[in-house]
Amino acid sequence: MLFPTPALAVIDGSLCQLTREGLPARSCPPLATAVAEFVGGPMCVYVREHPYGLLPGIANLYCLDGDLRMMWIAEWPASCGPCTRIVDATGDLLTAESASGAVVRIDAQTGRTLHIEQPMAAAG
Find the CATH number of the domain harbouring 88: 2.40.128.630
Q: What is the pLDDT of residues 41-74, one digit of tens each?
A: 888 999 999 999 888 889 999 999 989 999 999 9
Instruction: Count structural domains, the chain.
Output: 1
Instruction: Give every strand in the sheet of 14-18, ordered side by side.
Output: 7-11, 14-18, 24-28
- Look at residue 77 and tell me if it is in a domain: yes
- Look at residue 40 and tell me if it is in a domain: yes
Which of 52, 111, 117 has the alpha carbon at shortest distance from 82? Answer: 52
For 80, phi and psi rounded to 5 degrees? Answer: -90, -10
Domain that holds residue 16: 7-117
- Look at residue 98 and tell me if it is in a domain: yes
pLDDT at 1: 40
Beta carbons of 53 and 2 less than 8 angstroms apart: no
- Look at residue 122 and tell me if it is in a domain: no
- Look at residue 25 and tell me if it is in a domain: yes
pLDDT at 21: 86
Which of 44, 41, 16 has the alpha carbon at shortest distance from 28? Answer: 16
